[in-house]
Structures are given as structure tokens and as C-alpha cells.
Structure 1
Amino acid sequence: MLLAGCGAAAPPGLPGDAMVATGNEGGVFVTIGRELARAVPVADGTVSVVRTDGSVANLVRLTGGSADVGFSLADTAEAAFGGTGPFEAPQPVCALARLYDSYVQVVVRADSGVTRFDGLRGRRIAIGSAESGSALVANRLLDAAGLVPGRDVRTVHADLAAATAALEAGGIDAMIWLGGLPTAAVADLAARVPLALVDLDGVTTALDDRYDDVYRPSTVPASVYGTPAPVRTLSITNYLMASTAMPPDEVRAWLGALFSERVAGSHREAERLNPRTAIGTGSIPLCAGAAEAYRELGRGDR
């Protein structure tokens, strides 16, 4: 859906160079971010894309001024907004849009014998890059299960490519990943090595009690990776974020680009973007000017 269409006013262009921080989580951030950078109008300059470790790194860039917009998992965004977890103080961030959901995927080889999360005791686990949303969730899962890194489990930081390679080679016993379904790299590995997903029943309640419905009980269907049965897990919303210093005209320009036909055609998750749901950003406040932009999007939809 185009903001500059069906009677809506044309969105203003950005005044100069800009940067989109995509992370490297499942490739969806990268794919959508690349087309978002191409779709946003720029009066004088260019829009670049930077791939980072993930959600934490993206939010640090936003507050530090080295990126204009960035993708983040909802739990990481809430930690930044509240000044908890990896953030020592509340960060000046706001939400442009609610996007799609990522799913916690605790992946092991099918012959590992691990079926429940507490069965990871004594195992080597890849938990994502150091500044990724995957690492934040992995550490929360381990804490909820009473598994202490360095004592009960051995954790290593590794991005998706390194983690899948290590799992295939036997260098690790499990990987904890957040991404859309299916995650291409996991599906490719499943085509070579029989895999299983670890059931998170029992851990989900503890996380839900601690983090106010940020995590929602969900299911990975058996058909996604060819597992014997559906597996209970958690899903987490993703947001497109910005600094609270972003002017309303720039907010409107980014939202016009986000709901453009170009971005919609970039990925099946982008096809599902809808202003009616994108405006619901939970406890993270919308950026200044976003509510007006969504009203224009609504008028253009009629």
C-alpha cells in the first residue's frame, strides 16, 4: 500500500544521507531493510544499509546517531525503553511500526535425545551474536529454566551461519535462534541433517510471568522442518524503530516507504504488513508524527 496514493498527500523526502540498521536475524530484516532503503524518498543524498549483530546493536546505533531506522524484537525494544537488560538506562527510542512475528527455535540434531529445554543441561549451545535479540532471549530462557551458563551449560556466541555449520559438524549440541518460519538456513540444514526442535512447554509460563506478555505461546508446525510432530514454542513481535529525535516529516517518509509496493514485494512477511496492525506497538510509544501518517494511510485505503 502506498502512502502517496488514493488521495493521500505525497510523503516528504529525507533531507540527506540516511542509514537502515537491519541486523542479521533470519535474513528477513536484511531483505525488507534493503528494499526500504530503496523505497524511501531522499531529497539530497543516499540511503545505505548496515548489517549488524541484531536488535541490541540496532538500537545502540539509533541512539548513537549512526542509523536512522532499525529493526528490533519487541523484548529488546522494551528493554531499551525501560533501561533494563543490556541497557543501563532508558533509551530515547520510539516505534514506527509493528512488523511480523519471530519464533524461538531451539534446534538440535534428531539423534541428540533432547526433547525438553531442561534436557540441555551439560550441552554446548550457540545463543546468537553478542548484540542480537537471540542472545537476549536465550539468556532469559536459560535463567527461567535454572540453567546457569558456565556451570550447567556452555554457551557460545555465533551468528546463524556459524551456528548451523557448527551444529552440522558436531561442534555444538544445540542452537537458540529467533526468526520467521521457516528460517532458510535451518531448513537447508534440515535437508542435510535430521533435526528436532526442543519443546518449550514449562519455560513459557515462567517467561510470561516475568515479562508481561512480550512472549506468546506458539507452535511450530511439523511441516516447517519435517519434524515428527508440532513443537510448542514462543513468538515475539518485531518492530521498526527510530530515535525520538526523528522529525515528524521523516517519520512520515519512512512509513510511506514501508507500505510501498516495492517493500511489499520483497518478502512474504512484508506482503502481510497492514497499517491497521502495524500501528499497535504495545508499550513502545509511536514516534512523533506516526499517528498522523497512519491516519493518512487509512484514508488512502478507502
Structure 2
Amino acid sequence: MAATGLTPSKAGPSRPSAPREAAPAPPGGAFARALRRNLTAHAFLIGAVLCFAVFSWYPMVREFFLAFQTTENGEVSWVGLDNLATVFNDPAFWQAWRNTLLFTVLALLLGFAVPFLVAIVINEFHHAQGYLRLLVYLPVMLPPVASVLLFQYLYDPGYGLLNELLRLLHLPEQQWLQDPDLSMLSIVVASTWMNMGGATLIYLAALQGIPGELYEAAELDGAGLLRKIWHVTIPQTRLVLSLMLLMQVIATMQVFVEPFLLTGGAGPEGSTTTVVYLIYQYAFNFNDYGAAAALGLLLLVLLAGFSAAYVRLSRAQDE
């Protein structure tokens, strides 16, 4: 016997359910609601801004005022341009700038070109790139003191490895860090080895983003290795090369660690005295913080002007 109740197919039309009432909006405006939704992100952002303000922005502003002040017996007084005059009249000022520019030029010839060439070589390997990347980046992970101790052993005039090799080849031994003509070049070699890992990985990432069809087309046109690098690799990585060149100049103009640890800062006959080391001397050896701040301000203005001019020239070339 069939059930007497109505089946769903025979049931009458269902009544539309009453619309649910919208939940009441939380108190506050749109900004307050967005702030509550992103409270964690804002907390991290505020922390980062405070860190930058305390450890970066405040010292820069303080340096600007300190460059025009002097402190004697705990009393601060304004001296105008006297600190700049002190810096300009120091004979070590011009020598420090010459040494810094020499280091920058040598570092561009080695530290800018060598990582790019190493990245090109690693990019040709297809099965051992992970190990090669680790091998290249390993010096960056070493503490700078450990790397400096290694190069002190290599450059030692008595039992150093480099002079041992020269003896085996019956060549004259060299005073790598004691000779004013070789000290800066020796520091550049050490600095290149210590810092090339990061640049090499950046170049390698840029090289792996180049389409393989471009190299295949170049090979069909009969291009060799050098022509492929000149006409394909360099144009395709021009943006990365430009950025790394700017960063390289800014970093090398502020060199301090390598000369300070390898040659004590000044080096033989002042051959490794750099601008940043001279700032260190003014502040911590001469207790003249005003002159140190004035020299730091000069370096800041120079690097800012170079960066602005470089970016403007790069944009003009792109247009």
C-alpha cells in the first residue's frame, strides 16, 4: 500500500526562506576595520619602521647636525664649516680619496667582471649547479675574520703559500701586504674572493631567465661563444648588470673591513688608507666627531650624486 504522505515531487511549492539579516558592521570606520583585519601585518610594519628610524634615519640626521658642531667638555657649539675646513686641510684627506678611487677601479675590474664570468661558466653545467653554487657562495658564509686569517697566511712573506709557489717557480718573492705598490691589489683580490658569491648567484639567476631560443638563433647565424655573450647574454642581463654596477661602486667606496684587518688600516706608507678608515680615525683615534661626521657627509653627498646621475643616464639609454 502506497504511503499516504506527499512525496517531494508532489509537494506544493516551497516557501522562500526569509532573508537573513546582515550582521551588524563592527564599530568604527573603514580604516578601523581594515586595521583590525591587518593588525599582524601592521605590527610587523611598525616594527620595521621603528628599526629603520632608530638605527638608520636617526644616525643620518644626527650626523648632518654633528658635521656643523663641536663638543668640548660636554658642551655642544655650532662651528659652521670649520669641520669641513679641518678635513680639507688634512694631508691624509686627499690620499684617502686616491686610495678609495683606486680600490673602486680595481674592484670593478675584478669584483664586477669575475662573478659574471663565473656565473656564465656555472650556467653551462646542467648536473652539478647546486654543488657549484654552494662552492661559490661558501666564502660569503665564512666570518670575515676567518677569511682574513686565510689571506694573511697566503700573503705571509716568510711561509705564505703564494711565496712558496714563487720559490717553486724560481721567481722573486713578493711583499704582498708590506709593499705600497702591491698592498691595494692584494686587498682587492681578497675582497673579491670574500664577496663574489652573492653577485655570482644574482648573475646566474639572470642568465637562467634568458630564453634558449635566442642562443639557438645565434648559433644558426654562426655566432661563436664570445659573440653569443656580447650579442645575447649581455643585452639580456643589462638591467641586472646596471644595478650590480651601481651597488658595486657604492660598496667599494665604503671599504673598511679588508684594509683594517689585513694591513691595520693605513698600510705601508698610507697606501691602504680609505675614506671610511679616515672617518674611523677621526672618531675613535682623534676624538673629533665633528670632523668624522663632516667627512661622512661628504661621502654621502658624493655617492648620492653618483647614484642619481647613474640612474638618470640609465633611464635616458632605455628611452
Query: Shared fold by TM > 0.5?
Result: no
Q: TM-score, normalised by structure 2?
A: 0.19
The answer to which structure has the higher strand fraction is: 1
The answer to which structure has the higher helix fraction is: 2
- Higher relative CO (Cα under 8 Å, sequence separation at least 6) belongs to 1
Q: TM-score, normalised by structure 1?
A: 0.20
Query: Larger radius of gyration, structure 1 or 2?
Result: 2
